[in-house]
Amino acid sequence: MKIKHILKTKEFRFLIENGRKLRGETVFLYADVTKTSGESRISAGVTTSKKYAPRAVTRNYVKRFIYAELRKSTIQKNTNIRIIARLMKTVHDLPRKEIAGRIRKDLTSLMVQIDGVE
């Protein structure tokens, strides 16, 4: 499934203020689910700070990995989901496989809690 990237500050701010908040061990999600008569869609934005991943390589890896995991998820028909994922735990000293495992575990458990995801 293709994901539309959320890039605008207004969209980020709206979801952070009004979205449903879900906290995992390493990832914090802000989510908004709406029903629509058209095609199902996921819009996502990812933020990683230098505090939790000082190296740009690690931050980019985390972002790419989160987008890839969201792309794999299946959502119910006629549902629009907007998600902001924020890294909330230091990962710079971990190997990539462990980073991926932790984020995957968090995302799968948090996505189940969002209404439109199967």
Q: Which band of pLDDT confidence, cut at 50, 70 and 90, is reported for residue 116?
A: low
Render pLDDT for 9-38 as a digit per residue (tens, 0 to 9).
999 999 999 999 999 999 999 999 988 888
pLDDT surpasses 70 at 118? no
pLDDT of residue 10: 95
Q: What is the pLDDT of residues 88-100, one digit of tens each?
A: 999 989 999 999 9
pTM value is: 0.89
What is the architecture of the domain spanning 3-113? 2-Layer Sandwich (3.30)
| Residue 80 confidence (pLDDT) above 80 | yes
* Mean pLDDT along residues 68-76: 86
Dihedral sign (CA 91, 43, 18, 56): positive
In the numeric block, which tokens belong to residue 96? 């990539």
**Which tokens is 64 given?**
């790419």
What are the two backbone dihedrals, phi and then psi, of residue 30, each rounded to the nearest 5 degrees? Answer: -115, 125
